[in-house]
């Protein structure tokens, strides 16, 4: 086995061990889950910004136990003082439910989504 292949294999194993699961949402350019959309996979204990701004989202897959979903505007990842949401992302929340459209309201464009332990 080439060294680089071994490193890649090891990195893959570490990723599987340290990041067991993620929540998956579709994010939308407009309110009410309309307009352009893309699927975003937010791993437990991480924050994602690559998808760019969005106004609404729809959960598809729940994250790991005791994970909460936070959304950030106008700040970015890590700034919980300007976050929205805080819903349990593990399925144990009445609002963060698969197939249910979630709006941020007030024409807000959210720019980051995280999954942190609640």
Ligand X SMILES: *[C@@H]1O[C@H](CO)[C@@H](O)[C@H](O)[C@H]1NC(C)=O
Binding-residue total with ligand X (CB under 6 A) = 4
Q: How far apart (Å, rounded) are the C-alpha atoms in residues 117 and 115?
A: 7
Q: How far apart (Å, rounded) are the C-alpha atoms in residues 75 and 96?
A: 22
CB-side exposure of 70: number of CA atoms within 13 Å?
23
Binding ligand X (rule: CB under 6 A), the pick from 30, 49, 76, 97 is: 30
Q: Which is nearer to ligand X, 78 or 105 (CB)?
A: 105
Radius of gyration of the chain from Cα atoms? 15
Nearest approach in angstroms of CB 71 to ligand X is 18
- The reply to whether 32 sits near ligand X by the rule CB under 6 A is yes
DSSP class of residue 106 equals: T
Nearest approach in angstroms of CB 31 to ligand X is 4
Nearest approach in angstroms of CB 101 to ligand X is 9
Q: Which two tokens stand for residue 8?
A: 């890649």
Binding site for ligand X (CB under 6 A): 30-32, 34
């Amino acid at each position: 086995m080439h060294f680089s292949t071994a490193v890649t294999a090891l990195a893959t194993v570490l990723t599987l061990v340290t990041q067991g699961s993620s929540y998956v949402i579709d994010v939308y350019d407009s309110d009410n889950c309309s307009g352009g959309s893309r699927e975003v996979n937010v791993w437990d204990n991480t924050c994602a910004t690559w998808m760019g701004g969005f106004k609404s989202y729809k959960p598809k897959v729940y994250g790991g136990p005791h994970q909460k979903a936070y959304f950030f505007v106008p700040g970015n990842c890590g700034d919980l003082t300007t976050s929205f949401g805080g819903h349990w992302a593990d399925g144990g929340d009445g609002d963060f439910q698969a197939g249910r459209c979630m709006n941020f309201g007030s024409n807000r464009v959210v720019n980051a989504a995280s999954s942190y332990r609640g």
